[in-house]
Amino acid sequence: MRVHRVKNEMTGPILLFLCTGNYYRSRFVEALFNHYTTQATLTWRAESRAIALELGVNNRVPISRAALAALARRGITLAEPVRFPQQVREEDFALARRIMALDETEHRPLLVQPVPQWLARTEFWQVPDVPHLSAADAIVLMGTYVQSLIRTLSDTCT
């Protein structure tokens, strides 16, 4: 199996993935998106951030083991050292060409208060967190969303 190490050295338009703690869902789709865009020779690159980092206080390692395992099954490893979750900042919103939040039900209310000006630019997926959806089912769903997004971006670039 070919291993692809995901780095943040790519240039191009930025896609910002948001989830609550930047620990599991947003980190998985960031790495998956960057892997697929490299294969598709798209210049887009993904970053991911937390909307409410303080809600992930019990996260003791840089990234969810479920996300790492799912990436490893696809031959994707993260560049070392793996970073810890990061809180979204105004600058992240300003630099992003597109903004995707992973679960509208969970994330829309979290975005309304601190950053209402960016809410209108935010697109929402429907990928609930555990326990509302198992990690295995969420991984499959996120993969489908990412592949669809890559096709859309590829179509707009041709």
- Assigned architecture for domain 4-157: 3-Layer(aba) Sandwich (3.40)
Torsions phi, psi for 93 (to 5 deg): -65, -45
Angle made by CA atoms 150, 67, 75, in degrees to the nearest 5: 65
Contact 6, 37 (CB under 8 A): no
What does the pLDDT read at residue 61? Answer: 84
What does the domain layout of the chain look like in residue ranges?
4-157
pLDDT tens digits, residue range 9-61?
446 899 999 999 999 999 999 999 999 998 888 899 999 999 998 887 677 78
* Packing angle, helices 65-73 and 25-39, rounded to 10: 20
pTM, full prediction:
0.88
Contact 8, 86 (CB under 8 A): no
The DSSP call for residue 97 is E
